[in-house]
Amino acid sequence: MTSDTSDRTVLHGISSRAWEHPADRGALVALRKLRGFDMVVRRMSAFVTERAVRLMLLGSAIRVDSHQFSRLFRIYTEAATVLDVEQVPELYVVANPYLNAQTIGLDRPVIVVNSALLYALDDDELRFVLGHELGHVGSGHALYRTILLLLTTLSTTLLSIPLGGLGIRAIMAALTEWSRKSELSGDRAGLLACQDPDAALRVHMKLASGGDASQLNTESFLEQATDYHEDEDIRDLVLRALVVETMSHPFAVARAGELRRWVSSGEYALVVSGSYPRREDDAKANLSAETAAAAASYTDQFAKAEQTIDRALKDLFGGLGSMGSRVTDLFRGPTRPESPAADEGEDNPTPSW
């Protein structure tokens, strides 16, 4: 089936570096340094075969092609063409009422779309979702996401192992942290595939609302995203980290705000205009610069956290100082004004608190 990309710019030879979020790369670097992670990867890779994954899907899902879910196949082909995907993965639809899609597999990943998406999303929104998953494939995320899925499934058994459970728990925590960051990269790839920021925003609105965005307002939704990211109170900073600790995905509202910041920065427009890293240059990529960008992303987060803590401490000690002054004044008692004029007609002036 031919794909119609007349309304979108085909990004010939684009490298995954064009859409990878610095925090994604930073979390992945940290994950790979985790003790025991390499062994878990090898063991899990041997435990699961590509054939087993494919047989499971062939037996329980619908493989998408020009004859089955032809609309979805057309949109998928268009997204793959825009992102110039060299080897397009197989696409499957599973019967599931939740709005979700995933990329699984090791050497030959496949993309699985829940049936609920077909009825909740229009063509441009589906193009964003499929581009998002193709972004995971292009960035090599499928391996680690599959391992996280397996560890989560086997967590009850693995965490019961004496002492070894502590290592597995640490690896799972690091994997979920990376998984949340990788979603930001996937969102950027999805936007490049559909090249419609409004469609991307609608997807996040539908994810947050359960599929119905007809009664939502985009400006209010983005304002909500801004409020979520503000660090006015240290309690919000801590609670935000705690509530997502075990989640594989960031909140939809937070993802919308993050993607809008990428658009506002001008980087998205540069990529669409043709200014982006090419796959042919990946081998010559400046790894130190990539690592520095990843570190800078986390540095910014830590700086914001420090500012929040500093502000909270100042408010705390400022409040205590003000209270101390008031207590001192209380025990000192009322003082009469030095100006004689102020005493006229007032024998007992009221103290100022």
Give the residue numbers marked as catalytic.
133
Burial track 128-155 (b if 16+ CB lie within 10 A, e otherwise):
bbbbbbbbbbbbebbbbbbbbbbbeeee
**Rounded (5°) CA angle 260-265-271:** 95
